[in-house]
Amino acid sequence: MGYEGIGASVRRREDLRFLSGRGTYTDDINRPHQAYAVIVRSPHAHARIRGIDISAARSAPGVIAVFTGADMAAEKIGGLPCGWQVKNKDGTPMAEPPHPVLAIGKVRHVGDPVAVVIAETKAQARDAAERIAIEWEVLPAAATMEAALQPGAPSVHDDVPGNVCYDWHLGDKAAVDAAFAKACKVARLELVNNRLIPNAMEPRCAVGEYDAATGDYTLWTTSQNPHVIRLLMGAFVLNIPEHKLRVVAPDVGGGFGSKIYHYAEEAIVTWAAGKLKRPVKWTADRTESFTSDAHGRDHVTEAELALDDQGRFLALRVRTLANMGAYLSTFAPCVPTYLYATLLAGVYTTPAIYAEVKAVFTNTVPVDAYRGAGRPEATFLLERLVDIAALEMGIDRVEIRRRNFIPKDAFPYQTPVALQYDSGDYHRTLDEALKAANWDTFEQRRAEAARRGKLRGIGISTYIEACGIAPSAVVGSLGARAGLYEVANIRVNPTGSITVFTGTHSHGQGHETTFAQLIADRFGVPMSQVEIVHGDTAKVPFGMGTYGSRSLAVGGSAIVRASDKIIAKAKRIAAHLLEASVEDIDFKDGMFRVAGTDRVKSFAEVSLAAYVPHNYPIEELEPGLEETAFYDPKNFTFPAGCHICEVEIDPETGEVEVVNFTAVDDVGRVINPMIVEGQVQGGVAQGIGQALLETCVYDEAGQLLSGSMMDYTMPRADDVPCIQVGTAVTMCTHNPLGVKGCGEVGAIGAPPAVIGAVVDALRDYGVRHIDMPATSQRIWRILDAGRQRLAAE
Amino acid sequence: MYEFAYHRPASVAEAAKLLAADPEAKLISGGMSLIPVLKQRLARPSALIDLGAIPDLVGISVTATTVTVKGRTTHAAVAASAEVRQAIPALAELASHIGDAQVRNRGTIGGSIAHHDPTADYPAAVLALGATVNTSRRSIAADDFFTGLFATALEPDEIVTAVDFPIPEKAAYVKFPNPASRYAMVGVFVAKGPMGVRVAVTGAGANGVFRHAAMEEALAKSWSPEALEGITTPAEHLNTDIHASREYRAHLIGVMAKRAVAKAG
């Protein structure tokens, strides 16, 4: 056994079962006497339901039941709740229209669930679903934010005229106006942050079961946070008390945010299982994933940056429209507000910032957090604007960033948009990235590419993000309807092996390895003696799950706190066994030692004594060795870094190839460098996907044109270069590990670096900005227009 | 997938008889297009007639003038054939870039051309090389075979048994893949040989694969990429979708054609 503690690139323990097909995903769960649900979904973006005739389906072979929204309403089943309330500028709450589990009266997007058919087999349920006759009154759709905000636009919700969910702002408008009035230069940019469809490898799935003997419900579901689902579904939708409802999220094949939310199908299978007294399974096909998983991003923004004559940022003004889709998904309202506008200072000393965000309902799939959630939108906007300011002022892109960086001696640094950064060294991440990417010799590579007929460009982003969400009191004051602490329960077994129950959930992040390394490091035991348990509300204390790169910063901190409690108690037991004073006991490498002597007890011996307390300080200490810690973070954490991208464009076709990518990130202390590298690479691949390939397209009628893998361009292995990943660490100052988070940095840092490179490659064509995705067609149009302009001259 | 009857005939004659007896039946060869359509419930055939048990339908033979690929020969087999690589390297290379490894190991030439997906690769080779499509009842010239989008000259009960490719002097295929599906968004096959100079375009045409007369004329005069300079493609009969407008496709036809000629040497 080599070193397994903090800093070791231990291979992921979970990979053997994933790579050899031995994982247990929700669809692998099959219960005795199980029935199958198929959801009938709206083919229309916006329509009134005049009638539903289920008689033919009800009598079809194998059909057990057919339910519609009316059946759920008759049993007073609640709508899907929203977990965050944002307030308007005037202090009034946002519009929060109902989100029925099955549509009632009207459908609001293609894919909106209308009915469920439950049959003996999935094929029978599908056959019967086709026999449901729905009489539609098709209504005009508000398929885009532009359409939804037109006077006289169709109302997505009848009681939300104008389709505005909220009109929110942050920052000091007067200070910003004053700064603009005296600015030497104003850089302006209008941009679209393209809408994305998450497409986790594993489609969503849910299995509901009801035990008539005990009255207990169980839901197996593809979730990033089973306790949150239990709370939302039990308390707000189905009215099942928590002690009678168990939610299990077993192996989950990717989430990227899309599996945070409480979805209709979870409530449907649980409720139906109770009614039918049979387990009910629903598994999405890929088409359903496209039309029912929450989408991501989808902003339209105008921004202005005021600068002095030296290129120093004086103020930033931002106006953003954010698409909510047809209903408010669980955390949708906070994404374009508290996870977006609060990041608009970036890594810069901009003294005044004012942001206005209008959230808009449209007849599209709900939009919610997707890897990065608000922070990629803020970063893309800011970094593009900084590039444009540099271009228009004739200042080098690197130099303008240096002039505006928050210096490393300025921490803790209070931004004008609410956040207080605890640590960072932005010059260092920049310097290391420039060096690793050979920035200084780029012009040679550009010239060499030109000889091959290619247009080569280089782009840079210096980003920051906020993760480790979050201090409960802070998010509560901002409208969160949940606490955001994390929990760990550590159970030392009698022979000294250790079981850790964590409230976080691993769906690709490698917690079973990283957390076991933490324990191995803390207790001096081999990783083989450590089991990490997550994803089951019947086993784990109430935890908040995994999203926002929070698992190590918040969940790992809870593990440290619980470990400290275990060690404190074990020292008292060891002191008794060694007949020494507890102050004299050292614990190191798995051995309790009376300081300065050779008198020792192993961790296993102490553990056994705790459970076989024959020789034990029973008067002052309870037997057993098990501790729980709930850790509520003091602040967010602030990973930051520098990403540099080089592209080559084929001027004949407009094709872009990413030829080099360098990421130097400050993610705080690194527990497992290999896992961090993998997280950064995955994030960068998604960032390249957003920048060059992916986009969700609806037509004017609200039909999804990019509704399959035939038309939605996911990044593939050959779209992504070999990514050079480095870290330049400053410690987080407020959590016990000094960790910050690494899950989202790639998706946040990459897009502006890629687009910056594309724009740089096209510099001779008069391009200052190009919206994402920079597809070959979009670039060809620019090239073609440029050539035609040249020909005309 | 809806329910269907399943037949596995042992001869072409038997397959043709089954097909003639049931107008709602469909042939299945590799199934690389049909199975996804069935899974999505977009087709409801009464029966599938699987050609997989007919040994006569598999194999490649090469003479001094002709490469013959039997109908149920997989793309992988064509791609790996030393004889095809020697005789018509462009054909082997085209086959090696269809779909992915799984598709190439299942998908067949007969299935591909009988389906005539407008974004498929093989139709471009068949048309540009002036191949002859042999069926259970006759031989059809390539120029007469592809009649429109997902349409061919095949009668409802006719089965593709083999394709004869005259060996060209020069040939090459270059495609610009659709970024999402990786099917051809524009694919151009150029050939010079016993059938003359021929240029076939797949992926772009609103009616499926088509020959490019202006390019053929120019290349017949001078076989060089430069000969294609200034030759445009009228956009009105081209496809348009979220990935490429008609104009972009028209432009790409020119670029891919030049690259194909350069590659053919």
User: Contact B118/B109 with Cβ under 8 angstroms?
Assistant: no
Last residue of a domain, one of B166, B181, B202: B166
- Domain assignment of residue A723, yes or no: yes
Same domain? B36 vs B85 = yes
Note which residues in 176-205 of chain B have CB less than 8 A from chain A. 176, 178-181, 183
**A585 and A698 fall within a common domain:** no
Q: pLDDT class for A131, splitting at 50, 70, 90?
A: very high
> Is the Cβ of A466 closer than 8 Å to some Cβ of chain B?
no
- Percent of chain A at pLDDT > 70 equals 100
Q: For residue A346, with 0-12 CB atoms within 10 Å meaning exposed, 13-18 middle and 19 or more buried, which class applies?
A: buried
Do B33 and B151 fall within a single domain? Answer: yes
Backbone φ and ψ of B135, nearest 5° = -125, -175
pLDDT over 70 at A147, yes or no: yes
CATH number for position B127: 3.30.465.10
| Most distant CA pair in chain A, distance | 97
Give residues 115 to 144 of A whose Cβ lies within 8 Å of B.
123, 126-127, 130
First-to-last CA distance in chain B? 47
A593 in a structural domain = yes
| Cis, bond preceding B177 (omega within 30 deg of 0) | no
- Residue A22 in domain: no
Q: Indicate the number of domains in chain B.
A: 2
Beta strands at A216-221 and A205-211: parallel, antiparallel or unpaired:
antiparallel
Asked whether residue A656 falls in the same domain as residue A709, the answer is yes
Which of B121, B147, B166 marks a domain boundary? B166
B88/B137 same-domain check: yes
Report the residue from A652, A697, A706 with minimal CB separation from B255: A652
Average pLDDT, chain A: 97
Do B158 and B200 lie in one domain? The reply is: no
A543 and A670 together in one domain: no
- Domain shared by B17 and B109, yes or no: yes
Q: Which two tokens stand for residue A631?
A: 């850790």
Write out the residue range of the structural domain in which residue A680 sits: 419-466+638-793
Q: What is the CA radius of gyration of chain B?
A: 18
Over range A783-789, report the average pLDDT. 89
Q: Which residues of A touch B245 (CB under 8 A)?
A: 777
Q: Same domain for B175 and B113?
A: no
Task: Give yes or no: residues A618 and A672 share one domain.
Answer: no
Question: Which of A598, A615, A631 finishes a domain?
Answer: A631
Last residue of a domain, one of A605, A631, A657: A631
Q: What is the pLDDT of residue A145?
A: 98
- For an interface test with A, the pick among B119, B178, B248, B256 (most A C-beta atoms closer than 10 Å) comes out as B248
Taking CB atoms and an 8 Å cutoff, what residues of chain A touch B251? 780, 784
Say yes or no: B33 and B103 in one domain.
yes
In a domain, A42, yes or no: no
Residue A26, domain member (yes or no)? no
B37, B38, B181, B240, best to mutate vs chain A, most A CBs in 10 Å: B181
B42 touches chain A (CB under 8 A): no
Q: Are residues B197 and B251 in the same domain?
A: yes
Task: Tell me if chain B has a CB within 8 Å of the CB of A703.
Answer: no
List strand residue ranges (DSSP E) for B38-149, in order.
47-50, 60-62, 66-70, 132-135, 139-141, 146-148
| Best to test chain B binding among A653, A658, A699 (most B CBs inside 10 Å) | A653
- Residues A603, A539, single domain; the answer is yes
Q: Flag whether A141 is in a domain.
A: no
Q: Is residue A382 part of a domain?
A: no
Tell me, yes or no, whether B144 and B197 share the same domain. Answer: no
Summarize pLDDT for B1-49 with one digit per residue, the tens.
899 999 999 999 999 999 999 999 999 999 999 999 999 999 999 999 9
ipTM for this prediction: 0.95
Q: Are residues B118 and B176 in the same domain?
A: no
Predicted confidence at residue A716, as pLDDT, reads: 95
- Indicate if A451 and A551 belong to the same structural domain: no
Torsion (CA) A696, A702, A705, A709 in degrees, nearest 10? 60
* Among candidates A123, A130, A706 on the partner chain, residue whose Cβ is nearest the Cβ of B242: A706
Structural domain contains residue A394: no
Residue of A653, A712, A714 with shortest CB distance to B252: A653
On whether both B122 and B33 belong to a single domain, the answer is: yes
Mutate which of A40, A283, A658, A713 to disrupt the B interface (most B C-beta within 10 Å)? A713
Which H, E and C letters describe A574-598, residue by residue? HHHHCCCCHHHEEEECCEEEECCCC
Instruction: Using an 8 Å CB-CB cutoff, list chain A residues near B178.
Output: 710
Which range marks the domain in which residue B67 is found? 5-166
Report the CATH number at residue A723.
3.30.365.10
B162-221 tens-digit pLDDT: 999 999 999 999 999 999 999 999 999 999 999 999 999 999 999 999 999 999 999 999
Q: Is B1 on the interface with A (CB under 8 A)?
A: yes
Query: Could you give the CA distance from residue A286 to residue A280 in angstroms, rounded to a whole number?
Result: 20
Q: Is the pLDDT of residue A390 over 80?
A: yes
pLDDT of residue A788: 87
Do A642 and A556 lie in one domain? The reply is: no
Do the Cβ atoms of A776 and B179 come within 8 Å? yes
Residue among A327, A328, A320, A325 nearest A304 (CA)? A320
The answer to whether the CB atoms of B180 and A712 lie below 8 A apart is yes
Q: Residue type for A530, please? A: V
Query: Does B137 contact chain A (CB < 8 Å)?
Result: no
Residue A499 and residue A461 in one domain: no
Which member of A126, A693, A710 has the closest CB to residue B181?
A710
User: Would you state the pLDDT for residue A295?
Assistant: 98
Of B41, B179, B252, the CB nearest to A713: B179
Q: Check if A784 contacts B (Cβ < 8 Å).
A: yes
The reply to whether residue A705 touches residue B248, judged by beta carbons under 8 angstroms, is no
Among residues B128, B148, B166, the one where a domain terminates is: B166
Question: Using a CB-CB distance cutoff of 8 angstroms, which residues of chain A are in contact with residue B229?
Answer: none
Whether residues B1 and A123 touch (CB distance < 8 A) is answered with yes
User: How does residue A449 score in pLDDT terms, banded at 50, 70 and 90?
Assistant: very high
Please state, in angstroms and rounded to a whole number, the distance separating the CA atoms of residues A23 and A19. 8
Confidence check: pLDDT of A1 > 90? no
Q: Enumerate the residues of chain B whose CB falls inside 8 A of the CB of residue A706.
A: 180, 242
The pLDDT of residue A691 is above 70:
yes
| B173: contact with A, CB 8 A cutoff | no
Residues A446 and A512 in one domain: no
Look at residues A596, A631, A666 and tell me which one is the last residue of a structural domain.
A631
Give me the residue label for tokens 């102050």: A583
pLDDT tens digit sequence for A94-122: 999 999 999 999 999 999 999 999 999 99
pLDDT band at A625 (very low <50, low <70, confident <90, very high): very high
DSSP A170-235: EE-HHHHHHHHHT-SEEEEEEEEE--B----SSPPEEEEEEETTTTEEEEEE--S-HHHHHHIIII
CATH number for the domain spanning B192: value is 3.30.390.50
Q: What is the pLDDT of residues A44-78, one digit of tens each?
A: 999 999 999 999 999 999 999 999 999 999 999 98
Number of domains in chain A: 2
Shared domain check, B114 and B35: yes
Do the Cβ atoms of A710 and B241 come within 8 Å?
no
